[in-house]
Amino acid sequence: MWEVALTPSALSKTYTICVQYKLKKPPNIIVLKPKLIIPDGKKLPHTYPGKRLCLYYPGIGEWRGDMLLAKTIVPWISEWLLNYEV
């Protein structure tokens, strides 16, 4: 388990992210703070149950267990957060 602070752009908030990872298994990514705002009657897009972020399409090779998290998952988290802010 790893906690990291990410700021997706110069104008963005800083987010505290929890990355739960077991070698060669898909990582679980959760935004710890600030709390993500979900409009009434809406669902937070691109998430799994438990507000885990969906960063890629599983099973088609976008991410594999031999890929470095620093070159894939971490930039994808920043991209997800930037899209959330927009």
Q: Is the pLDDT of residue 47 over 90?
A: yes
Please name which of 59, 53, 57, 62 lies closest in space to residue 27, comparing C-alpha atoms: 53
pTM: 0.90
Cα angle value 78/81/86 (rounded, 5°): 125
Q: What is the pLDDT of residues 2-38, one digit of tens each?
A: 999 999 999 999 999 999 999 888 999 999 999 998 8
Query: Per-domain residue ranges for the chain?
Result: 2-85
pLDDT (average), residues 62-81: 93
**What's the distance, Cα to Cα, between the start and end of the chain in Å?**
28
Please name which of 2, 1, 13 lies closest in space to residue 78, comparing C-alpha atoms: 13
Element housing 2 (H / E): strand 2-6
